[in-house]
Amino acid sequence: MSAIYDVAVIGGGPAGVAAATLAARYALATVLFDEQSRPGGQRYGAVLTGIEQRYCTPMASGQQRSETLAHEGREGGLVAALGQSGATAVFDATVWAACRRDDGLFDIGVAQGSPEGRNARLTSARALIVATGAVARPFPIPGGTLAGVVGADAPALHATAEGKSQRRIVLAGNGPLLWQLAAEYLAAGLRLETLAITTPRAQRLRALPKAWNAIGAADFLPGLALERRVGRRVRVVRNVTAIVARGPGRVETLELETPRGIEILQADLLVLHQGLAPEVNFGGALGCGYRWNDARASFEPIVDAWGGSTLPGVFFAGDAAGVAGTAAAWARGQLAALAVANALGRIDAKARDVAAEKPRAALRRSLRGRAFLDALHRPADPYRIPSGDTVVCRCESVTAEEVIAMVRQGAAGPNQVKAFTRCGMGPCQGRSCGLTVTELVARERRIPPGQVGYFRLRWPVKPLTLAELATLPSSADAERAVARDAAH
């Protein structure tokens, strides 16, 4: 890697690939970092298209995966273009810190290599494009910590590749990806017993006035067709108002509450998914401003039309700027790259604006009907704001009633709750509980979540061992950067 790049792109999903490819074409020294072993992000990862590869079929080689990507139309073509663009792509790399120096450069801490032997290093860039994507929204339910209760992106189905394909699986939640997941489980030969939909009937009715624009969206009719195909093969239970998992140590039964009463199901595996939320830890630790989007019940970075943040030199792209899907991610990545090329003097504002016409038009098309989807798939309050002894923070085993008790004793926000309960201090650093804590505090204090705020985030944003830290260069510049990161 070079010592100083013009732009560093954090994340190798659709937005990151599009941004790095275009930035390099404008003769910007570009580096892309991603934790996976190849580009593609979640769009081509285990959540959406890799169930067969990882769990049920031998489609595991890099060559086969590259061939699959190459046949995925425009997206596959852009992934292939990354390798021809001149950008430096660094995979199996975790960016654990980034800090803006007084001279405007960003020091970036990266850990790279296999889990058995990773090395930490520092590099620098004049601009950052944050394309860290989205994370699974917290989905706390009673019994949610039992073995066999997992998120949709967990590697819990690997046993099916070992002849255990008869495990009874229930998939529960809401959102477009839920149906895609169901279709891919079926295609993989998994025994999907029930699809439990948690979207309230009243919410569907409230979303109808916003449906007109969605009808013309590119994925509207394919989405309806997908639901019909899945519905013909799987029992679908709608209007599920509560879910309880029960078992002595592992889930054995589920209680699904609907307006018709409570239904008891036998299950070996409960897979939960209720949408995605922007990844906020990286940008928050950088010091970028965020605001609460009540329509989506999540925090999003404050950005301009180019993805520019409240911190000079930092741009957001893709779902990290607001969950909107793959097509929007490509467009946002290109817009951010154009903004960086202009900011660093490679193109003037007129050339930037002309080049932005196509991605901006693509972004408008991809966002068509987004208000309908947000209204329809906003998770219901009981699934976002739990009560009683439901575990909120899995890492530290903190329950909803413990969080509420701290608020009643004077904790004004998530950081005070963290100080007294360790909620958000585990390995996930609040990714699986942060939104839940914010909304619990907001409801108890009867103020908007945006006023409550989020956890105070610091580096490192990903786990870093002392052994990895010890591999950092011992130059004066590196020592200064490490000391500064530690101070923050």
Query: 191 with 75, same domain?
Result: no
Residue 364 counted as domain residue: no
Residue 479 falls inside a structural domain: no
User: Are both 146 and 232 inside the same structural domain?
Assistant: yes
Whether residue 468 lies inside any domain: the answer is: no
The total number of structural domains that make up the chain? 3
In a domain, 459, yes or no: no
pLDDT at position 332 = 98
Tell me the C-alpha distance between 201 and 233, whole Å. Answer: 23
Q: Is residue 363 part of a domain?
A: no
| Predicted local distance difference test score (pLDDT) of residue 93 | 94
Predicted pLDDT at 461: 92
Q: Are residues 101 and 199 in the same domain?
A: no
The CA distance from 310 to 302, in Å, is 7
DSSP assignment of 336-354: HHHHHHHHTTSS-HHHHHH
Check residue 37 and give its pLDDT.
Answer: 85
397 in the same domain as 343: no
- Pairing relationship of beta strands 235-237 and 192-197 according to DSSP bridges: parallel
If asked whether residues 129 and 142 sit together in one domain, one would say: no
Cα(155)–Cα(377) distance, rounded to whole angstroms? 25
The residue segments making up the domain with residue 258 are: 138-274
Mark which of 241, 274, 307 sits at the end of a domain: 274
- Asked whether residue 115 falls in the same domain as residue 146, the answer is no
pLDDT in tens, 337-382: 999 999 999 999 999 999 999 999 999 999 988 899 999 999 999 9
Among candidate residues 298, 329, 347, the one where a domain is terminated = 347
Q: What is the pLDDT of residues 36-60, one digit of tens each?
A: 888 877 655 433 333 323 322 222 3
| In 34-105, beta strands by DSSP E | 88-90, 93-100
Asked if residue 196 is part of any domain, the answer here is: yes
Q: What is the DSSP string of 143-174?
A: TTTSBTEEETTSSTTGGGGGT-TT--EEEEE-
Q: What is the pLDDT of residues 265-303, one digit of tens each?
A: 999 999 999 999 999 999 999 999 999 999 999 999 999
- Structure confidence at residue 46 (pLDDT): 39
Q: Specify whether 305 is located in the same domain as 249.
A: no
Task: Tell me the C-alpha distance between 423 and 390, whole Å.
Answer: 14
**CATH number for 409:** 1.10.10.1100
215 and 268 assigned to the same domain: yes
**Confidence at residue 161, expressed as pLDDT on a 0 to 100 scale:** 40
Q: Which residues of the chain have pLDDT under 50?
A: 45-71, 156, 158-163, 476, 479, 482-483, 485-488
195, 237 contact by CB (below 8 A):
yes
One domain for residues 79 and 182: no
Residue 94 lies in a domain: yes
Structure tokens at 135: 């994370």
pLDDT value of residue 39 = 84
| Same domain (yes/no): 299, 328 | yes
pLDDT value at residue 91: 93
Indicate if 121 and 20 belong to the same structural domain: yes
Instruction: Identify the CATH number of the domain in which residue 204 sits.
Output: 3.50.50.60
Residue 365 lies in a domain: no
Residues 336 and 236 in one domain: no
pLDDT at 474: 65
